[in-house]
Amino acid sequence: MGDSVRPLEDVRILAIEQYGAGPFGSVQLADLGAEIIKIEDPSSGGDVGRYVPPYQQEGDSLFFEAFNRGKRSIDLDMSSPGGRTVFEDLVRVSDVVYSNLRGDVPAKLGIRYADLHHLKPSIVCCSLSGFGMTGPRASEPGYDYVLQGMAGWMDLTGEPDGPPTKSGLSLVDYSGGLVAAISMLAAVHAARRDGVGTDCDVSLYDTALSMLTYPAIWQLNGDFTPRRTASSAHPSLVPFQAFKAADAWIVVACPKEKFWRRLTQVIGQPELADDPRYVDFSARRENATILLPLLEKIFTGRKAGDWLARLRAVGVPCGPVNSVTDALADPHARARGMVVETQHPRFGTVRQVAGAVRVGDLPLTWRRAPARNEDRDYVLRELLSYEPGVVDDVARAGAFGQPQ
C-alpha cells in the first residue's frame, strides 16, 4: 500500500441505501477509501435518515452524519427512463450495487446480478434486507427491534423477573451492515479474480440468528434452555457479570481459571480458590447461588475506582459501567483516535465516533456526509462524461425527478 493510498480507493459502490443498517455497512468501506455514491430518491426527499430528530434541520441531521461521512450523493429517480439510463451507465463504471430494501424490491427495481450482468459481467449486487430475497417473509419489512424480538435476543436480555428487553443499541442493524460489508469485499475480490460478479443476499434475520452462537448450539444439541441472568451475568461462567460497588457498578470477568485465583486474592478470600465448591468452572456454575451473594456483599465494601485499580493491578478483566458521556471521555478512547471531527456548513464542527476498522498505519481522513444531490455534477460530468445536451435529455426523461 502506498504512503497515501487507502486500501479501497479503487472500489466504487452505488448505494441505494437509507436509515441505519445499509449506511452503517457502507460507511465502513468509505472510511477505507471506497467511493460510495448514494443514489437518493428525489420523490421521497432522499435518505429518510436526513430527517431523524433531534439535531435535524431541513435535509441534514446528525443522525445522517453518523452513517454517511465520506460519501457522495446524487438524486436519481430509478423508476424513470432517464434515471434508469444514468443508473445503467453508472453500473458500467462501478464495482458494486448495494441496497438495503425489502427482500422483494431488488427484483422489482432490476438491481440483481441477473438484471445487470449484461452491462458489466463483474458487477457485484449486494442486497441487505430484513428477511432476505427468498423465503416466506421476503416481502416483509424488517427492522432492528422486530428482529431482536424474533431472533430470541429480547428473551435473553434484561433481569430474570423483568420484561423482554432490547439492546440499548441497534445491534442487529449494525451487525447486518458489517456482514454486508464483508460480503461485498469477498464478492469484489472473487469478481476481480474470476471476471464474474454475483449476488450477495444478506439479511438482518440471518445475521441475528447467526449471532446466537453458543446458546444456539447448546440448545440444538442438548436440553439447555437459554434464560435471562441477573446482573447481566454470563450464562455459564461464574463470576462474569456486573457487581454493585459502594458507589457504582463495575463488570468483573473470570473467563480463565487464573483470573478466578487472582480475584480471590484481591477480595481477601484466597481460600475460595481451592474450595471444592468453587475450584473450577463447573463447580462455580453449580454453586453460583452460594458464591455470587458472597461476592456481591464483598464488592459493596469498597468504591468502584478502588476495586478497579486493585483488579487491574493483577490483570483481572474488569471495567466500569460507564455512561455514554463517560465512555466517550475515556482517555483510552482519545488515545485510540475514536472521536473525530468534521466540518459541516450547517452544524459547524461535528464530533463523532470513528469507525473501528484498521488497516496498516495509514492515518485516516474524515469528510462530512454529503448534502442531498451535492455530487450531481461530479457524477454526471466527471464519472460519466455527459455533455450538457445528454444531461438535458435524461433530465427531460425524469432522471432527477419530475421535470420542471
Which residues, at least 6 apart from 395, have a Cβ–Cβ distance to it below 8 Å? 82, 403
Which residues, at least 6 apart from 334, have a Cβ–Cβ distance to it below 8 Å? none
Q: How far from the centroid of its chain's Cα atoms is residue 127's Cα? A: 15
* Cell of residue 21, nine digits: 443498517
> Is 11 exposed, middle or buried, given 0-12, 13-18 or 19+ CB atoms closer than 10 A?
buried
What's the number of CA atoms in the CB half-sphere (13 Å) around residue 238?
Answer: 25
First to last CA, the chain: 47
Assign residue 45 a region: left if phi > 0, alpha if psi is -120 to 50, beta otherwise? left
Which residues, at least 6 apart from 145, have a Cβ–Cβ distance to it below 8 Å? 166, 170
Q: Annotated catalytic, 118?
A: no
Q: Which of these is catalytic: 117, 118, 189, 234?
A: 234
The answer to whether 66 and 352 have CB atoms below 8 angstroms apart is yes
Other C-beta atoms within 10 Å of 21: how many? 30
One-letter amino acid at 83 equals: G
User: β-pairing, 318-320 with 249-253?
Assistant: antiparallel
Q: Catalytic residues, which ones?
A: 234
